[in-house]
Amino acid sequence: EAARTAYAAKRPRSAALHEQALEVLAGGNTRTVIAYGPFPTAMTRGEDCRLWDLDDHAYLDLCGEYTAGLFGHSEPRIHAVLHDVLRRGINFASVGPGEEKLARIVCARFPSIDRVRFTNSGTEGNLMALTAARAFTGRDKIMAFRGGYHGGVLTFPAAGSSPSTLPLPFVLADYNDNDSAIAVARAHAKDLAAIIVEPMQGSGGCLPARPDFLATLRDLANETGAVLIFDEVMTSRHSGGGMQARLGITPDMTTLGKYIAGGMSFGAFGGRADIMAQFGGKLSHAGTFNNNVLSMSAGGVAMGEIFTAEVAEAHFQRGEALRARLDDIGAAKGLPLCFTGLGSMMTVQFRTPAPDRPFVPTAREEQLRELFFFDMLEAGIYLARRGMVALSLPVGDADLDRFVAAVAAFADNRAELL
C-alpha cells in the first residue's frame, strides 16, 4: 500500500489524465494489459531505450512494448523509411513493392512459411490461420492450451473457463503435458481442424514449451490430420527463423506480429502452400490496412537490414546471459525469486523451482508482482506490469547492470516479504 501511495503521489498528471479518460474511454483506456491500478503511467516521449512520462520522470524501457518495441524509440533507418513513405503518400488502395519485399523476407526466414498474408495484429493473424485450417480440413474443432494467449478474444486462462464469447469449438489441454495433449487430440481426432500453441507462453509468464512437448504436438497433428499452428507472434525473435528454426520442429502454419514492422501495427499468417492456396480462390481475406505502406516499408527495413538472423541470435544469447545473472540473485540468498523465459524475454516469478506450467498465482504472488513493478518504477525502470521484460536492441550493457542491481536491491529490501 505504501508503494502504491508513493507511486500515486509522484504522478499527479498521469492521475488527472486517467480521471479524464474514464469520462470517454470504457475502462479508462484501450489496452487491458496497461490498465493497472491505481492508474497507469502515461508516457509521452521515447528515445533509444528511454521513456519519459507526463510528470517528467525518465525510465529505462525494459517493457519494449510487449516485444513490439524491439528497435527502440529512435532507430534512424526505420525513421528514414517512414519519412520517405510519408512524403510519397500512404493510402493508395493498391498493392505495392513493399508488400512483396516483406513477404519474400518472411518466407525466406521462417521454415514453415511457403506463402504469407499480412494483417494488422497478431489477433487477426491467429483468427485467419484458424479460419484457413478449418476450411482446409473441413473440420471444426481447435485444440488450444490452458494459459495460452493468442489475442484479446483468444485468451485461455490457466484454470477455469475462458471469458471469450467467440463461437469457436475450442477443446483445451494442459500446456507442457504430453499425456493431456495426447488424450484430448485422440478424443477429438476426427473433428480436429487445428492445434494452436505458443512455443513459449508469453503472456502466460514466459514459460517455454519443452521440445518433446512440441514434437508430440507435431506427431499428433500428423496422426489426426489437424493443422499444427505455431503462434510465434512473440517468439519469432528468438532466432532468424523463430523457435521453429531453433528447435527444428516445423508446424504447418505460423502466425507473426509485434516487432516485425519495426514498431508499426502488424500481424501475419502463413504456412504450407497447399493450405495458403485457399486464398487464391475459396477464402476471402480483406482488410483496409492489411498492407498499409507504413508497416510494409518499415518491415522490409526492420527485417531485411536490421534484425538479421545474426542479430537475432546475438540478441537471444544476450537475454540468456541476463537471465542467468538475475537467477543468481535469488539463488544466492535462498529466496523464491527467479526468472522464467527464453532469450530476450523473461518474467519474474516468486516461487521456486521455476514453474514450467501455467498456474494461478497466489494472492501473495500477486502482491509481490505489484510491489516489484512499483519498486522498479521507483528505480527508474519500466517493465510490463506483470513483471515481464522484453529487451530491445538499444539496451546497453550498463542498462543491464542497472537492472541487475535494482533486482538485487529488491531482494535485499523486500527479503522479509519474499
The residue ranges that bind ligand PLP (CB under 6 A) are: 66, 121-123, 126, 149-151, 198, 202-203, 231, 233-234, 257, 267
CB of 210 to ligand PLP, least distance (A): 17
For residues 201 and 149, the answer to whether their CB atoms sit within 8 Å is yes
The residue whose Cβ lies closest to ligand PLP is: 122
For residues 99 and 118, the answer to whether their CB atoms sit within 8 Å is yes
- Nearer to ligand PLP (CB atom), residue 6 or residue 247: 247
Q: And the C-alpha cell for 305?
A: 537490414
Beta-bridge partners for 270: 116, 254
Q: And the C-alpha cell for 74?
A: 529512435
CB of 330 to ligand PLP, least distance (A): 26
CB of 214 to ligand PLP, least distance (A): 15
DSSP 210: P
In whole angstroms, what is the distance from residue 66 CA to residue 88 CA?
A: 31
- Burial class from Cβ neighbours inside 10 Å (0-12, 13-18, 19+) for residue 132 reads buried
- Nearer to ligand PLP (CB atom), residue 41 or residue 126: 126
Cis peptide bond N-terminal to 38, omega within 30: yes
Q: Hey, is 342 helix, strand or coil?
A: strand
CB of 233 to ligand PLP, least distance (A): 4
CB of 67 to ligand PLP, least distance (A): 7
- Nearer to ligand PLP (CB atom), residue 11 or residue 385: 385
For the chain, give the number of residues. 418
- Nearer to ligand PLP (CB atom), residue 204 or residue 300: 204
- Which residue from 311, 356, 48 is spatially nearest to 201, judged by alpha carbons? 356
- Nearer to ligand PLP (CB atom), residue 267 or residue 300: 267
- Nearer to ligand PLP (CB atom), residue 33 or residue 54: 33
CB of 148 to ligand PLP, least distance (A): 8
Place of cell 523509411: 81
- Nearer to ligand PLP (CB atom), residue 202 or residue 242: 202
* Backbone phi and psi for residue 107, each to the nearest 5 degrees, phi listed first: -65, -35
DSSP 149: B
Q: And the C-alpha cell for 157?
A: 486462462
CB of 53 to ligand PLP, least distance (A): 23
CB of 11 to ligand PLP, least distance (A): 25
- Nearer to ligand PLP (CB atom), residue 149 or residue 403: 149
Place of cell 479524464: 20
CA distances in angstroms from 380 to 7, 18, 314, 367, listed in the order given? 12, 21, 26, 20
- Nearer to ligand PLP (CB atom), residue 17 or residue 200: 200
CB of 205 to ligand PLP, least distance (A): 12
78-82, long-range: CB within 8 Å, 24+ apart, which pairs?
A: 78/262, 78/263, 78/298, 78/301, 78/302, 78/306, 81/262, 81/297, 81/298, 81/300, 81/301, 82/264, 82/294, 82/297, 82/298
- Hey, CA dihedral for 117, 121, 122, 125, is it positive or negative? negative
In whole angstroms, what is the distance from residue 375 CA to residue 22 CA?
A: 26
